[in-house]
Structure 1
Amino acid sequence: MPPLFDWRFAADPYPAYAWLREHAPVRRTRLPSGVEAWLVTRYADARQALADPRLSKNPHHHGEQSAHGKGKVGIPGERSANLMTHLLNIDPPDHTRLRRLVSKAFTPRRVAAFAPRVRELADGLIDSFAARGEADLIHEYAFPLPIYAICEMLGVPREDQEDFHTWAGMMLHQPGSPRGGVGRAVKRMRGYLAELIHRKRAELAREQGADDLISGLIHASDHGEHLTENEAAAMAFILLFAGFETTVNLIGNGTYALLRHPGQRAVLQRAVAEGDEGLLAGAVEELLRYDGPVEMATWRFATRELTLGGQLVREGEPVLVVLAAADRDPAKFAEPDALDLTRRDNQHLGYGHGIHYCLGAPLARLEGQTALATLLHRLPDLRLAAAPDELRWRGGLIMRGLRSLPVEFTAADHR
């Protein structure tokens, strides 16, 4: 078996996942944190596990009998910051109630109306480095774009958005960000969100509220159904936390894949030039399948014994569904290790499956399509400025993305 979770694995986990799919598709593995969990790598088993009601999202089901306790299976800092009550940590009926409330605020109409602003943000970021002829696309494009986008959608004032940029950098260990770790950033974000929610609730009471997502969450809670301030803060937090890093990785991994596959990139550039939105949308789905931003679905815990892929999973044991492995399963996808932007019937699991299917997927898709189309249009001769083996990856659990992506292109001082 190839080694798991070392630096070589982070750079290219797919050979190890192919071995697991063939030889041990549901395997109990000790993670770098010390927690033991079942890794699920085949598509059919993964799809079953993602929708199985016996697998809870609530970390309280992590067995007390575990020698490693409960403290290492969630987002660092979310428990101490009182941010546990979000959609990634709860089951029905609370999940059903919260998702219905959030869906009232996070509507397709709101996402579609935001498209022009995402294009403005993408163009503005490219303007900031286009004249240099070189850039780090993670630090200067893929990272700030979703941060500013989700901040604006939530209703974070522009004068406060740099704080979120800093806190997000602490979560991703971005260059130039102060050290302090995820937990510290989460606590700072929690304090700010509590204050912002209180301010927006007062504005709504005076009929001065704006049409932003936090105001929408508060409005939904004030009309017949109950959303506590803790729940509102937790939902805003998870939209920020889950909404920015997945999109950073989608843009970064997607751009890197296109640069490594010039023939496929040419297909997409023609589609962008011709305004073929259908091919652009399909290309983003293939990039999500081929090297998606989420390596593993977030934690699940058995509420009772069950059999998964022929293995007995006992009550309280953690289960991690490896989306990156399932989406390259040859039993589901023809030539799964090939990037094919024209692939049909692409039922990948990049945004999950079942009741926990990613609520923010439409926004992430919009940002991914806009970011890639704008980049290919504005910088048509974009090329890598480093050898692939010089690049370093963040990965090993849940998310997977490049730490940096140095590129070169013909300098320009106009669009």
Structure 2
Amino acid sequence: MPPALPTLPLTDPAFVQNPYSLLEKLRDTTPIFYDAAIKQTVFLRYDDISGILRDKRFGRTLTHLYSRDELGWPPPDPAQAHFDAFNGNHMLDSEGAKHTRLRSLVGKAFTPRRVETLQPRIEAMLEEYLAQLGPRFDVVADYAEPLPVRVIAELLGVPEAERGLLRPWSAAIVKLYEPSYSADQQAEAEHAVVEFSALIRRLAVQRRAEPKDDLITALVQVEDGGQKLSESELTDTCILLLNAGHEASVNGLSAGVLALLRQPEKWAELVEAAQSENSLPIFRTAVEELLRFDTPLPMFERYVLEDLEWNGTPLKMGDQVALIYASGNRDPRRFEKPDELRLTRDPNPHLTFGLGKHYCLGAPLARLELALSLRALVRHAPKLRLTDATAAPEYVGGFVIRGLSRLDVCI
């Protein structure tokens, strides 16, 4: 292993608020190191991260190759049996033939064309939310949070009366992706998986009997070479779509607005651009830069599938590596002046949605939501500003899923 260093302070509020100065220092001095606290080898440079994401010797799991006994893993924790079953069933944490089959099936139902047809509906939702905003509001709770959950709910076909459950369920589930969590958080996540699964199973039964124009119907009906999704695969795919479908959008939009309001001249650029009816491409480009500049999901993990050496660092089968997207997205070896917010940066090959076979299937939807949401907000509140520009932002949870707890602004 590479030499051990002081650990990344993943739960330290000061680091979560501003990880970039420490990441820059480590990226320059020790871009690969073993973190004893999380028991992972950490990679900080763009080329290493992008290379590992594309390399078949790394994967999201090991259990497609080895049993838990062969790996020396402890027995599964019965306190999170349903959560573990969910994680083992969806395509994000699958490898090999299973991943290929799941991605093919889900991709046939969740298509970019289906996403693009949502634009008029998303714009109507945004107008509704903007009309409810007062002269002072919280960007996170009042604007960024409601849209992605509602879009996913409509896309799936979840009835209106049950949509209020989705955000709390998702918030509970994703807490178990942090390096540490409490027994109460574990219990809440387990309960959320059980309840969400029951809802999707009930809706799937209804769609088999009475198909509708929604994603659950498409997932029930999708077939590829005689292969179909099992009931548990369909259920867990829907849970994944909600979790992945709103975290990047909520955190990306709120962090993006914060970055723009801290540099008013950048906000002014978008105010001017928004006057044009054909401004959406400008906002799409700006969103790519905002996702690079302040990465909403800063860290992902991979398992080492065989003994190997990477850039002079020996890695053993079964090791875990931590890929710090937030660092790779600020690497000056790949991006010119990466600490500058350049809204017209193009090309912009950021890591935010991953690379390789696990590239985020929901990226087209997140990009569309973010571009439309930002443009609508800029048009509605061209003089938007932070209520207290001197206040340090507060974040929910830790570094792995890094999101603002609130962002108070005034028009």
Whichever residue aligns with residue 49 of structure 2, its letter is: A
Matches of 2:174 and 2:8, distance apart in 1: 24
Give per-residue Cα distances to partners, 1:7-46, cap 9 Å, x unaligned: 1100001111112211221221144xxx411211100000
Equivalent in the alignment of 2:60: 57
- Structure-to-structure mapping, 1:250-289, within 5 angstroms: 250-274=252-276, 275-289=278-292
TM-score if structure 2 supplies the norm length?
0.88
Matches of 2:313 and 2:35, distance apart in 1: 13
Where 1:79 maps in the other structure, the secondary structure is helix
Give per-residue Cα distances to partners, 1:239-293, cap 9 Å, x unaligned: 0111111111111111111111111111112111113222211100000110021
- Structure-to-structure mapping, 1:129-168, within 5 angstroms: 129=133, 132-168=134-170
Residue 144 of structure 1 deviates from its aligned partner by 1.1
Matches of 2:255 and 2:360, distance apart in 1: 19
1:226 to 209, 225, 228: 228
Whichever residue aligns with residue 39 of structure 1, its letter is: V
TM-score if structure 1 supplies the norm length?
0.88
Q: Are 2:298 and 1:295 equivalent residues in the alignment?
A: yes
Residue 325 of structure 1 deviates from its aligned partner by 0.4
Where 1:218 maps in the other structure, the secondary structure is helix
The verdict on how the C-alpha distance between 1:167 and 1:391 changes in structure 2, with shifts beyond 3 A counting, is: same
Q: Are 2:19 and 1:13 equivalent residues in the alignment?
A: yes
2:343 to 338, 341, 348: 341
Assess if the C-alpha contact under 8 Å between 1:282 and 1:342 holds in 2. Answer: yes
1:45 to 40, 44, 48: 48
Kindly report the root-mean-square deviation, in angstroms, between the aligned alpha carbons of the 2 structures: 2.5
Structure 1: runs of 5 or more not aligned: 204-208, 410-415
Matches of 1:255 and 1:45, distance apart in 2: 30
Deviates more, 1:318-327 or 1:120-129: 120-129
Equivalent in the alignment of 1:317: 319
- Structure-to-structure mapping, 1:323-402, within 5 angstroms: 323-387=325-389, 389-394=391-396, 396-402=398-404
Equivalent in the alignment of 1:206: none
Equivalent in the alignment of 1:84: 88
Assess if the C-alpha contact under 8 Å between 2:295 and 2:326 holds in 1. Answer: yes
Equivalent in the alignment of 1:106: 110
Assess if the C-alpha contact under 8 Å between 2:87 and 2:93 holds in 1. Answer: no
The verdict on how the C-alpha distance between 1:37 and 1:378 changes in structure 2, with shifts beyond 3 A counting, is: same
Residue 83 of structure 1 deviates from its aligned partner by 4.7
Equivalent in the alignment of 2:9: 4
Where 1:319 maps in the other structure, the secondary structure is strand
Matches of 2:260 and 2:214, distance apart in 1: 34
Residue 222 of structure 1 deviates from its aligned partner by 8.3
Matches of 2:199 and 2:318, distance apart in 1: 34
Q: Percent identity, aligned pairs only?
A: 35
Equivalent in the alignment of 2:206: 199
Residue 188 of structure 1 deviates from its aligned partner by 1.6
Where 1:280 maps in the other structure, the secondary structure is helix
Residue 68 of structure 1 deviates from its aligned partner by 8.2
Assess if the C-alpha contact under 8 Å between 1:77 and 1:186 holds in 2. Answer: no
Matches of 2:76 and 2:266, distance apart in 1: 44
Matches of 1:49 and 1:62, distance apart in 2: 24
